[in-house]
Amino acid sequence: MLEETDRQIDNRRTRVTRHRLAPGAHTGFHRHEYDYVVVPVTDGRMRIVEAGKDLFSDLSSGVAYFRPAGAEHDVFNESDRELVFVEIELIG
């Protein structure tokens, strides 16, 4: 997988995790229990495998996006360099 995660905050209201994906690495299939915001630290391209489809997303450093709870997917780094992003889960 070649993914590194760093849980920075984990309390009753939020969970903040920094993800680092090497080129070609992926997160593994997972389901999000909570609404969440992703803040890219680096520019890059993701391939998201969700509901049997491949979706592509170009990320720009510092440009956040929101996803609702229930997302089920595997996220791949399609860039030729490390992809780093911070995921903020909104628990409470």
The DSSP element (H or E) to which 37 belongs, if any, is strand 35-40
- Give 2's pLDDT tier (boundaries 50, 70, 90): confident
- Give 89's pLDDT tier (boundaries 50, 70, 90): very high
Starting at the edge strand that comes first in sequence, how are the strands of the sheet with 65-67 ordered?
Answer: 3-10, 14-21, 83-90, 35-40, 65-67
Token digits of residue 83: 């992809």
| pLDDT tens sequence across 33-79 | 999 999 999 999 999 999 999 999 999 999 999 999 999 999 999 99
| pLDDT tens sequence across 12-45 | 999 999 999 999 999 999 999 999 999 999 999 9
Query: Which CATH number is associated with domain 3-90?
Result: 2.60.120.10
Work out whether the CA dihedral 1, 50, 43, 40 comes out positive or negative. negative
How far from the centroid of its chain's Cα atoms is residue 87's Cα? 6
Q: Please check the confidence at residue 1 and state whether its pLDDT lies above 70.
A: no
Mean per-residue pLDDT of the chain:
95
What are the extents of the domains in the chain? Answer: 3-90
